[in-house]
Amino acid sequence: MSDWIEKSHAAQDWFESLRTRICTEFEAIEREAGSDAAFEYTAWNREEEGNEDPGGGTRGVMKGKVFEKVGVNVSTVRGNFAPEFAATINGADADNPGFTATGISLVAHMANPHVPAVHMNTRFLITGKAWFGGGADLNPPVPYEEDTEEFHACFRAACSAHNPTYYDRFKKWADDYFYIPHRGVHRGVGGIFYDHLECSDDAAFERNFAFTRDVGETFLDVFPRIVRRRLDSDFTEADKRTQLEWRGRYAEFNLVYDRGTLFGLKTGGNIDAILMSLPPEAVWS
C-alpha cells in the first residue's frame, strides 16, 4: 500500500503544478484584456471522526473581465466511504470502504457569451483498486464550429497517442454523461470523459498517468487559444440571455446528475469548493 500512496503523492504533485500553470495562463489573458484580476486561494481541511489525516485542498477563484467566474480546485482526501456510498464506487464496498483521492477540477464561466464555458478535471483514486479518471468538455452558449472542431481535434490527437480506441470511446462517454434527461439536451458540445482506468501494476500506473497528464496539457493548450479568439466579440442582449439560460442548464446538471458533486458531498468535502462549478448568474425561463 505504501507504494500506491507514493504514486498518489506523484499524482497530487502534478495536479498542483497543472493548477499553477493554468491559473498563470488565465491571469495572463486577463492582463491582455486590461484587467488586474487574480486568483484568490482558500485552503480547507477535511474532517472525519477518528481520522487523524483526512486531507483537504485549496480552492482558487478568479472573477475578472474575461473570466466572469473561474474556479480551479485541487484536493487530496483520505478516509472511509459511508457503507451505502461505498457500494457505488469502483473497488470499494461496505467491507473495504477506505479511499485516497487526489485531483484537480476546473470550471470557467465567461463574461462574453461568444467565449465558451468549460469544464475539466483529472483524478486518481485508491480504493480496493487504483484508477485514473477525468476529461474535459466545452459548453458554448453561442457555438462556433471552428472552436468545436479544434477542441475535439486536440483531444482526438491526445487520445490517439495512447490508444487508437480512446477517442471514440471517451467522446461517446462524454456525450452520454453530459446529457440532461429532463431537458432532452446535451450540456454542451462534448469532449472526452473517462473513468476507472485501472492501475493493476506499475506499468499500468505509468501508462494511465501519462495519458491523464496529456489530457491536462491538451486542455492548457487549446482552451486559452479559443478564449483569445472570441473574447473581443460583440454580443447582443439576446446572446446574453442565451448564455444565462444555458448556465441554468449547467447548474441543473451539476446539482442533479454530476458524480463529482455527489462524491464531494458524500466524502465531507468543502461546500464552497464543491459548488464552485455553479455560475455567478443564470436565468430560468
Q: Which residues are catalytic?
A: 119
- Cell readout for 262 is 455527489
- Residue keyed to cell 473497488: 91
User: What's the CA angle centered on 69, arms 259 and 115, to 5 degrees?
Assistant: 95
- Give the integer Cα–Cα distance in Å for 24 and 269: 25
- Give the integer Cα–Cα distance in Å for 13 and 175: 30
- Residue keyed to cell 461517446: 172
150, 172 Cβ separation under 8 angstroms: no
- Give the integer Cα–Cα distance in Å for 132 and 134: 7
Helix, strand, or coil (residue 58): strand
- Residue keyed to cell 452520454: 176
- Residue keyed to cell 486518481: 124
- Give the integer Cα–Cα distance in Å for 20 and 14: 10
Helix, strand, or coil (residue 172): helix
148, 189 Cβ separation under 8 angstroms: yes
- Give the integer Cα–Cα distance in Å for 208 and 105: 18
